[in-house]
Structure formats: structure tokens, C-alpha cells
Structure 1
Amino acid sequence: MARNGVYAQTTIADTVRLVGTGVHSGERVSLALHPADAGTGIVFLRGDRRSGREIEIRADWTSVSATELCTVIGDPARGTVATIEHLMAALSGLGIDNVTVEIDGPEVPVMDGSARVFVEAIEGVGVEPLAERRRYIKVLKPIRVESGHSFAELRPHEGTRFEITIDFPNTLIGRQTYAADLTAKTFVRHVARARTFGFVSDLEKLLPLGLCRGSSLENSIAIKDDRVLNPEGLRYADEFVRHKALDAIGDLALAGGPIMGLYRSYRGGHRLNFQALAALFSDPNAWCIVEQPVRREAPVAEIGAGLLAPAFGPDVR
């Protein structure tokens, strides 16, 4: 958000409260988003209704502890929060830098399987500009990770762009690509409403393992053979790839600041999204911090890569 000609950090204007069900745990979860000061970032306060204790978990790539079916942050020995990607996508897509997320369960509620409910709730209270400038992670050179036939890469780009391709043997989905520069308008109109999806055959295998207990036609697109079982059908003709783009936006929001670069993936997922971030930050020559978008005419202030930890790391308050 621009404030007096400068791109300012933001938070939400008031507290947002939501209640829903975790798609994997099946537990009822209460969630509150609170305004936060500049430099706070996105911080989860995970409460335990049984013990009454509360732990703080920063929404940062270094906090990621699992990426199998969703993105999980935190220490399994102390406490974690799962399925954060849709909420993180909503915050990133709307350009919100600082929020404290208070949650009383192990998993962010899935709501309708997309980021729509989070977006509408945040838009209901509004976005508040703060006094400090926003800092961006600028990609300086290509970074690529591969896994079999899948790959993900970050490349220099003037702005923030996502190019996501999926390729399923299922004829209903097949090969789909979604590509767009990320803006709040684009995210809200073309990505936020895309729901998670799954195959009935996979669900039948996961339920005995205690997973997907909260999955239903109210929060997921169910696919059986070459048919969508949801009576209302699809929200977009290519809703499957748009949801993968939503996931990627949410996962890359764990960078510690908005990424200035192009993110491209083929047959990607949470694990590859995380691995791309890890590969980027493992190379100090691949990125730097800038305080203003490079497309602005004003000079861009760059900070050495070694300052990322104090700028965005867990010790910042």
C-alpha cells in the first residue's frame, strides 16, 4: 500500500474472528486475526484448550516442519499449526505484512476450501497502512529445484509473478497453466475462490489413517473417475490449477517479506514450494532486500543478504 508516495507496511484495521473445522483433524477451531505493529510479520499464537498454555510460532520458512498434505509450522514437540497456506495466501494476496493469528487448535480452519472467507473477513475491517516502509525479497538470479519430473524455480522479475502448471493423468484435470502478476485485484478476482480438490479414491485411503476427517463437499472439490461430485460444479473452468497457484502464493508468503521475482512450477506442491525458498536463502548471492519496488522511479535502497535474519527472523519483535 502506498502512503505519501512510499510503499508502507500494512496491518488489518480491526480484529477478525472466525470459527471453522480443520480439514485434516476434523476439529472445531476458533481463529482471531489481530492488528500488529510494523516489523512484527505474521505470528501465530497457538493455544491449547486442555493445558491453557500458549506458544508463539512465526510464519517463516525456517518454521516449516511438514509439507506432506499441507504446510505445517512449529516444533512437533512443543506445538504446531497445520494448513496455514490458504490464510497466508489471503494475507499475501491482499498485501498485509503484520498480523497476529490467535488460534485454539492444531489447524487453521479450512472454511470453504479456498481463501475466499479469509479475504471477505479482512476486507470487512479494512487494511491499515503503517509508518514503516515495506521490505521486499528481491530475486537476483535463477534458483531451481527438481523432484523427478517436477520442478520449481525462482527467477528475477520486475514485480511478483506466478506461473503454475499442473499435469494430471486424470482426464478431467489434465494439463492446466495459470500465470499472472500478483496484485490484490488479481488475487481476489481470479485466485482467492479456487478450492482445494481431491480424489475419492485417495480419501478412502487417508481416512483410516486419521487424515481428512473434516473433508466434505462443503470445503473440497471431490473427483471420482472423470466427474466432479459437487452439485454446484466448478467456480472456474481451471479451478484446479488456480488452487495450486493459491497454495504457492501462501507457501511463498513464508519468505519473510513479499517476493520480487517470478515463481514458476511444474507439477509442484507444498514440498517443492518450501524447497524453492530454502534453495533461494541458502545462496546469499541469489537475493537481497529492497525497501521499494524496483519499478518506481525513486532510488531503490538495497540491504545485503546477510541482514535478512535481523530484518525478518524469529528474534524480531
Structure 2
Amino acid sequence: MTCQKTIKRSIQCSGIGLHKGRKVRLVLRPAAEDTGIVFALHGVDGVRFHSPSADAVVETTMATTLGFDGQRLATVEHLLAAVRGLEIDNLYVEVEGDEVPIMDGSSASFIFLLRAAGFRRQNKPRRVLTLKKPIHFQQDGKWIKASPSDRLTIDYTIDFNHPLVGTQKFFVDCNPENFTRDIAKARTFGFMREVEYLRRNGLALGGSLDNAVVLDEYGVINPDGLRFPDEFVRHKILDFIGDLFVLGMPMNGDFKVFCSGHALNNAFVRYLVDNRGEYLELDESGEQVIAEEAFFPSPAQAPATSQIWN
């Protein structure tokens, strides 16, 4: 039996939000079995608790943004990718701000924090969503193909009309070792021609060469260059892993992806949820659970603030 996992102790950091440019405080805290991933968001009326879901995604422009009863949390994908990549099942994510801090534009800082907190195996079996049958989901020439598997693999292709990027392909068998080595350090990227437009529209205000790879018409303008020659496709895989994890629990499958982004990733996840009886089942360490109500149970009721934040 593969058991669920959380972290041993709370750990915190602060940083800048990519789009609003405001300082954000983030605290990661252990959570009990079957809690899942729960965001604890600070608001004018105190701390409120929310679990991610496909239909909680309210914006996919340049990042994945969740919305809950008037509260919004942007740029969740890099943190969610780190949590999924390290196979953490239960976690409280406390955020003071409306974005997850961008850090260096990758998942590396979150990997460092989670590993520094340590890991604790729990007593209940791990819950993983699996596919019942293959699916081919496409929009506007972009597509996601997935087939049943007892692990998560991603074979990703991008195609950008830029001399340094062009067509790039990368395959990853996503386990903690491979994710940390091959995917976690790949940074978000953008083009100089987009920066002025984004900033006119109130986005990328916190963006800099410290937290993004920026390209002009000919190449990368970051003084230190790239971390990998194919850093761009690796970051797209990172985003895809994080966007899948808005399901609220890990999902296994063999995925082949062509030129997808946050919008298509979320449309795909929503389609799976809307048609879960046809495509999805829940695997509890080898025990297949077919009952629909078992797929996305309500999160365990969060304890009082004084009980969590200690």
C-alpha cells in the first residue's frame, strides 16, 4: 500500500507576485489524511479555506487563477506542480496576498521549501485519479492525448516562431527524482514585444529578468542565459503538471501534448470532470472506486485558525 504524504513542519517565505508586483507571504503547513490541498486565504473577514477544482479556475491569461466567493489567487501552477512533483497529498497553503509569489519563475524555490520542511508518511492509502480509456482533446490545432497508465508520463511538443525556440520536444516520467532534476528549474518565459501590452493591462508588473526568461527577436536577453537548451518546453511541462493538479488530487496517465497552454489545459481538465463517469476512476492504492461521489469529495472541514497556525 502506498500511503499519503504531508510535510513534517510549517515553513514560510515571501516574494513578489508576478502580475501585480505586490509582496506576498506564503506559509506551507502539514495537513491530516484526506485533507488534500487546501488554500487558506487572508481577507478582510479573516482566513477562509478553499480547495482547488477545475471549475474554480476563473482566468488562464498568462497564469492559472483560482476564484472562490469573491477571493482570487493567481499563478498557482508552479506551486501545485512542485506539490504534485514531490507526490505530496495533504497540505495547507496559507497566502497573504492575491498571488502565489513568483520566486525565480520556476518550481525550484518551492521544491527547496518543501524539502526543508521534510516529509511524513501518513496512515491512509494514497488516492489517485486514473483514466478508464484513451481520450483525444483538441482545440484550434492544439491537442492533448491521454491513455490509461499506473504512472504519470508527459511527452510534450511546442512550436514557436522564434529562432531560438522553434520546435522543442521533451519526455518525462514524472516521479520526484525526475521532476526535481529535469522540470522544476525551468522558468516561465515571455517575449519583449508582449511586455508593454501586458503592463498596459495591469499584468507582469512584478516581472523581471530575475523571475522570467525574456526573449527579443533574436535570442534570450537574460545575462545568465538558459538553464537548459530546451528550457521552454520543460517549463510548459511544469505548467501542465500544475494545471492538472487543480483536480485536487494526483492523476496518472500517459499524456502526449502539442502546443497546449493554461486555457487548453483547463478546458481539458473541465471536460474530464464533466464526463468523469466515462473517463475517470479513483484508485486507492490498487482499490478501484467507481462511485461518482468518491471522485471529488468535499474537503475535510478546516480546523479553527488557532488550531492550524501553531
The two structures have a TM-score, normalised by structure 2, of 0.93
Partner of residue 55, structure 1: 48
Secondary structure of the equivalent of 1:153?
strand
* Map of 1:92 onto structure 2: 84
Q: Secondary structure of the residue that 1:119 maps to in structure 2?
A: helix
Give the match for residue 159 of structure 2.
167
1:28 pairs, out of 23, 26, 29, with 23
Distance in 2 of aligned mates of 1:176 and 1:144: 21
Distance in 2, matches of 1:153 and 1:137, equals 16
- Corresponding residue for 1:253? 245
Matched, 1:199 2:185: no
2: CA distance, partners of 1:101 / 1:313 = 19
Which residue does the alignment assign to 2:297?
313
Distance in 1, Cα, partners of 2:124 & 2:196: 50
Q: Report the equivalent of 1:151.
A: 143
Q: 1:139 aligns with which of 131, 145, 156?
A: 131
Aligned to 2:41: 46
Report the secondary structure of 1:65's partner residue.
strand
State yes or no: 1:187 paired with 2:179: yes
Alignment check: 8 A CA contact 1:145 1:151 kept: yes
Does residue 74 (structure 1) correspond to residue 79 (structure 2)? The answer is no
Aligned with residue 13 of structure 1, among 3, 8, 13: 8
- In the TM superposition, residue 65 of structure 1 has moved relative to its aligned partner by 1.5
Cα distance, 1:272 vs structure 2: 1.1
Pick from 99, 105, 108 the counterpart of residue 107 of structure 1: 99
SS in structure 2 at match of 1:285: helix
Structure 2: how far apart are the matches of 1:25 and 1:316? Answer: 32
Q: Paired residue for 2:308?
A: none
User: What is the aligned counterpart of 2:234 among 239, 242, 249?
Assistant: 242
Match of 1:206, SS state, is helix
Residue segments in structure 2 that go unaligned for 5+ positions in a row: 302-310
**C-alpha contact (below 8 Å) 1:41/1:99 kept by paired residues:** yes
Residues in 2 aligned to 1:159 and 1:91: alpha-carbon distance in whole angstroms: 16
Mean Cα deviation higher: 218-227 or 60-69 = 60-69
| Alpha-carbon separation, structure 1, partners of 2:291 and 2:57 | 21
For 1:264 and 1:305, the matched residues in 2 are separated by: 28
1:142 to partner: Cα distance: 1.6
The aligned runs of 1:244-283 (5 Å cut-off) are 244-283=236-275
Asked if the contact 2:157/2:170 (under 8 Å) is kept, the reply is: yes
Amino acid at match of 2:293: L
Query: Amino acid of the residue matched to residue 15 of structure 1?
Result: S
- Is the 2:213–2:222 Cα contact (8 Å) retained in structure 1? yes
Asked if 1:302 is matched to 2:280, the reply is: no
Q: Give RMSD over aligned pairs.
A: 1.3
Q: How many residues align?
A: 300
